[in-house]
Structures are given as C-alpha cells and as structure tokens.
Amino acid sequence: MNNAKKLTLVAAPPGTDFHRGDGFNKKFVASRCLVLAVSLGGLSTLASAASQSPPCETPPGGIMFITQDCVDPEFDRPVIDSREDLKSPVLTHRVSGHFEGTDVKFSFFFPPKAQWKGRFFHKVYPLGDGSVPDRVIKFGADSGAYTVDTVSPSGYRANAAAAKFSKMVAGEYYGLPASQIHGYIYGGSGGSYLTIAAAENSSGVWEGAVPFVIGVPTSIPTNFFVRAFARLVLEDKASHIADAMRPGGSGDPFAALDATQASVLAEVTAMGVPLRGWDNYAYILGLNDPQGLLGFASSVKGIDPGYADDFWSKPGYLGTAQSTLGTLVRRAKIERVVSVQRIDRDSAGKPLSLHVAGLSHLKNSSWLDFTLEGAEGGNRKLLGSLDAERGVITLSAQNQVDMLNTLTTGTKIRVDNRWAIALTSYHRHQVPVSGGFAVWDQFRNADGSPRYPQRPQEVGSIISAGVSGGGSFTGKINSKMIIIANALDVDAYPWDANWYGQRLKAGEGNQYDEKVRIWLNDNADHLDGSVVASGAADNQFVRLVDYNGILEQAVRDVSAWVENGTAPPRSTQYGLNNGQVSLPADASARQGIQPVVKLTSRSGERIIAKVGEPVTLLGDITVSPSAGKIVKTEWSQTGNDDFLDAPLPHQPSETLAIHKTLTYSEPGTYYPVLRATVQREGDATAEFTRVGNLARVRVVVE
C-alpha cells in the first residue's frame, strides 16, 4: 500500500540518532549537517548527504566526476514518495521517489533480508518510463541484489545520484553501512552510453559495469542513415542479397548486382552493416519502420540546417554528382505541390486527415515532408504520414492548433523528400577528424584528407554526449567492465566493441586484462528478449538466440570479479576486416562464454531432397573453457517456432555430438535449426544465466 508523505527539514548536531518506528536506529555522525527526513507512516529515512560533503568536481574542459562522498548540487534533494510491499514478480519492498526540482524518478526493489547479499544491480536506459520488466527484478533478487531503476533523460549524473541514495535507503532497510554495499550498472543501446559514462566519470558508486550492444560517438545517426542509403539503392535486390547470405546460399551477395548497386553494398558493408544480417533484410532496410530509419532527421536539421540545400546545389555531394549513382539519387527526389480536396475532422472540428491527389505510386512515403504553401501557411511544416494508395495524409497530434485552423479545401501543400534523400549519404560528410574510426578510411584520400565536403560539426559526438550526459569515451574506467556485443547487430555494429576495446587498452595499459572483458556473441542481434520468428513475411524462421542469459551471466561475473576476485572467462577472440567481424570456428579458439554449434550433413549446408526422403543432420556442440556445460538441446524441423527438446544422452558436459533424421511431406525450402543451451554450473533447472547458440542448414524439398 502507498503511504502519505511528510517532508521535514531538520538541522542535525554531531552524533544525532535518527529513529524509525520499528525500533531500528541509524546513527549519522557529522559535525554539521542538514538532513531531509521523509516520514512515511512513522518511518523516517535519511534522504540527503551531509552539508560538509564536498561538491562533485568538474575538471577544466571536462564533465562532473562523481564519487560516493561528493554532492551533485543538481540532485541533492531526494524525496521518497511511496513504499510498498510487493508479492509479484517476487517478494520485494519497493521504495519510489524523485529528486526535487528535476524530472528524475527512481525506484528501489529490496528483496527479503535473508536473500540479500550486499549488492545492487542498476539497469539503465535513457528512455525508460519506470515500468521495470519482471525478469530484471527477479534476476536481481535471485542474484542476491536489490534492483535500482531510474527514469531520467539527464545522463549518468542522475543515475549516480539515485544509486548513491539507494545505498542510504538500503543501509537503513537492511542495517548495513552504505560503504559496504556493492553496486553494478548495466545498460544496452542508448543505455550503453550511460553505462560507459558512469564507469569513466564516477568512482565508488558502482564497482562493475556491463555495457551491451554498445554505441560509439559516431553511431547516432550514422548507423541508421547508412541503412537508409542501402534502402535507397538496394531495396529491389535485398532478397537476392539475403538468399546469398543464408545457410546454403552462394555466399556471394554481389552476384546479382550491377556496378552501382555493388559499390553501395560494398560501402555500407565497410561501414559495418553485418553481411549476415541481410538474412532479415526488412529490418536492415527499415521497411516496417514508420520513419524509414530517419528518426534522427530532426536532430540533424537542428544542428546542420543548411545541409539539404548544399546537397542539392554544391559539388561533392551525390545530389549534384555526374555519375550513375548521382543520377539515381536525383531520380528519387520528389517535389510536388498538391491541393487539399477534402478534410476529415473530429466532432470538435479539428482536422484529422487530408485527402489529396497526385501522390499515388510513391515507393517510400515514410520519407516525405509536408509544408504549407503560401501566405496562410507561412511555409510551415505539417506533421503527418501519407497513405499513398488512398491519397490521405493523416495528421499528427503534435501539429499546432493555429496551423491546423488554416487548413481549408484548396490549401496548397508541398510534398518533398529533399532532406530524406540527402540524409542517406550524410555519413560521407561526417568523416571523424580523430578517434581512429577506420571504417571511414574508404572516404579518405591517400594523404588522409576527406574525399568529400565535410559539414561544420560532427553530429554523432553531439548526440552521444547528449544521451550520456557529456561522456566522451576516454577509455579510462574506474570499475571492472564486461562488454557484450553481438555479431548480427545491425543497429550497433559489432566493430563498436572493438573500437572501444582499443580505447580501453590505451587508457588502462597493463591493467586492461585485470579490468576488461569483451564477449562477442554469434547469432544474436540488437534486440534483447524473445526473438522467435523475427523478420519479414519471407523470413519467418528462427535465426537468433535470446542473449539475456549472456547478459545476466556477465552481470553476475563482474560481481564475482569485484567481490571475490574471481576472474571471468577470457574475452572472445575475433577478426575485424573492412568493417566486418568474424569469429573462429572452434570454441577453444573463440573463447568467451557462448557455445559453438555446428550443423551440417553429408552434402554440406545445402541439402536437396525428395518429399518423404530421410535427411540426416549432424550436430556438434562445444563449450569454451570455464563457460559451463550443455544442459539443453532443441531441434526445429522447419525453421519456424516448432522446437522440440532432444534429451541429452548423458549428464551435462562441455561437448556433444548428436544427429537428427528428418522427413518432409511437402515441397519447399526449409531451414532446420539445432539450438543449444549452456549453464555455468550445469544446472538444467536454472531460470537465469542460460547461454544459447544455434546453427542452421538449408533443405530444399522437391
């Protein structure tokens, strides 16, 4: 149940005892201090740091460095709003609150004292909304940790303030000094920026960090715009590229392409788009993304407002290039002025949608801008989306009312994709001045100078610093760290982990092996959680593993590394060439913690069979040293979500050779799958830290 809150600001002399209603006394010793005490149903909680604690320091030209003992003046007034005992998803005591004067909220989920082992886990994401997944809370409790959650667009500093305050509340709840509580932060995608910034710009708040599917200062918006470039040129050839890269394919994605298409595929591949990721080309190309991968267009327009005009008018840009690719780009440009023929309104008369003519047969309506023409419109942007077949522009709720009120039958609207087309090759004009970003070497001359005109600012570093709260990827960390990257990640490219690893090697020197691991996993992409049957309509077979278990093992391993000195398994070994990551075929060479699964037949990865003809598949599973034991194997005959368990022939072990004979009653192309699960202790019943991998072949039934 929620309790009414009462805030009391008190001055506390040296040696003051703070009492709470259940008889627990917490002594806070200070010479002079101000304490914000929050009374909830007779329960008082110490809620701010001593006034004598030094302010957190900001070095010249840097960002604020947070320690356990300093005070961040922006987040120095924590307020507890509620306490509640929860039974689901597990028994926890939830404490929720906010920092006064900010938009930052926090929640702490404390498991029973008998279950707690003196630590907390803190999963971070810049767009969190306070709805903590059940699995995150259960994983923390199962690991002897309480869970910290923050809702904050304010970067690593807000997370640090919440983590520090959680220790004070936990100290009171469990009766253990805050100084003896160990903290671990982890976050993926946008959360990786927060995690890395926290590890580099704080000390004593968290002692371990696990950034996963990490971005680097160039990732946003480049990684999305590069794929939009691929969509512009390669959409019609995507299925051919995908077929070549799927199991049993030719392995040559360039075979069906003309010279221009091949050059673009080579360009985006060298930028880091995983070739094997084309298996799910609908995702790579953003075919189902309402914004067509250009969701960061507004950010670029704000930072670099003159780019589109330069793109279409100045030399050095594809908009003016006298080349086959330049001609293709210009042909893709749309600029039309249409008239509103009818307006659909709600009961209050507010315009909801506009019926227009002359916009049918557009290939990509998600890239369009709508601008009101003439004196009444004032050349203002109209937010909405187009259904080209019906000729209907559905208006966004974000449009200003005064602008909507100008809409009448006959209103002129300019429809164009000038910005969208220009942004698809924005990466050519964002060659980093420094930082060792080798994937941009393809856009440099022999002397290292950029081949194309460069924009005034590097947008990626501005956006990444905004997400993290100012972090700059120095490579100097103040905690243990395990980095999780995935070989099929088409959002945060696999080379990102290698780039940051090199920064860490330079920053940590001979301490690198004592502080850092990088686990690069196969058959996993950017999205965590269930990945069953992900993809486009023609790609509905299982091709990915859920990497949550790998992430959970990393968080537990970094905890054991800090608290017990138990070093985790070695980093994954990999190759990096021309933006593409490759993994050794054998587990002993690959290392990391993911099993290596191989699947083949006597005729290789492509099997031709008749209806009813037996097909025998041969599987081999190997676990790298210290990574665990095989606890489960599964087969999918069709490559859809039809997995069936295959009982292990013996007790869990590090290696397993198995086979499966299949028959098919209908002609078609199938992708049978062998999936294996490893658990560190060989516990087949464990709910967490289950590490998976898979292998597939192609069976063509005639």
pLDDT band for position 49 (cuts 50, 70, 90):
very low
Please report where in the chains the tokens 């080309």 appear, as a residue: 281
Averaged pLDDT, 130-158: 95
pLDDT band for position 380 (cuts 50, 70, 90):
confident
For residue 574, pLDDT beyond 60: yes
Q: Give me the percent of the chain exceeding a pLDDT of 90.
A: 83
- Beta strands, E only, 305-455: 335-345, 351-356, 369-372, 381-382, 384-387, 392-395, 412-416
Check residue 530 and give its pLDDT: 55
State the amino acid at position 272 in one-letter form: G
Please report where in the chains the tokens 């709508």 appear, as a residue: 370
CATH class given for the domain over 334-416: mainly beta
How confident is the prediction for the chain on average, in pLDDT?
90
Averaged pLDDT, 194-209: 98
Check residue 379 and give its pLDDT: 66
Instruction: Kindly state the helix (H) or strand (E) to which residue 8 belongs, with its residue range.
Output: strand 6-12
- Lowest-confidence range among 17-31, 100-114, 152-166? 17-31
Which of 251-260, 368-377, 528-537 is modeled with the greatest confidence?
251-260
d(CA 34, CA 9): 7
d(CA 190, CA 585): 31
Check residue 20 and give its pLDDT: 33
What is the length of the chain? 702
Q: Give me the phi and psi of 227, to 5 degrees please.
A: -70, -30
Averaged pLDDT, 172-198: 96
Check residue 642 and give its pLDDT: 86
Check residue 373 and give its pLDDT: 86
SS3 228: helix
Averaged pLDDT, 605-619: 97
Q: Is the pTM of this model over 0.75?
A: yes
| CATH 2.40.30 domain extents, the chain | 334-416
pLDDT band for position 52 (cuts 50, 70, 90):
low
Q: Give me the phi and psi of 143, to 5 degrees please.
A: -95, 5
Contact of 286 with 270, CB cutoff 8 Å: no
Check residue 682 and give its pLDDT: 96
- Lowest-confidence range among 103-117, 371-385, 489-503, 588-602? 371-385
At 296-319, the pLDDT tens digits run 999 999 999 999 999 999 999 999
SS3 126: coil
Check residue 529 and give its pLDDT: 64
d(CA 40, CA 471): 37
Cβ neighbours around 121 below 10 Å, total: 28
Check residue 358 and give its pLDDT: 81
pLDDT band for position 128 (cuts 50, 70, 90):
confident
For residue 588, pLDDT beyond 70: yes
Averaged pLDDT, 90-115: 97
d(CA 557, CA 578): 32
Check residue 1 and give its pLDDT: 39
Check residue 360 and give its pLDDT: 77
d(CA 147, CA 107): 8
| CATH 2.60.40.650 domain extents, the chain | 593-702
Averaged pLDDT, 511-520: 98
Check residue 528 and give its pLDDT: 79
For residue 377, pLDDT beyond 70: no
Please report where in the chains the tokens 């699964």 appear, as a residue: 597
d(CA 239, CA 120): 46
Q: Which fold would CATH assign to domain 593-702? A: Immunoglobulin-like (2.60.40)
Contact of 376 with 410, CB cutoff 8 Å: no
Averaged pLDDT, 150-162: 93
Contact of 531 with 546, CB cutoff 8 Å: yes
At 624-670, the pLDDT tens digits run 999 999 999 999 999 887 899 999 988 999 999 999 999 999 999 99
Q: Give me the phi and psi of 521, to 5 degrees please.
A: -110, 145
At 469-502, the pLDDT tens digits run 999 999 999 999 999 999 999 999 999 999 999 9
For residue 538, pLDDT beyond 70: no
d(CA 29, CA 6): 24
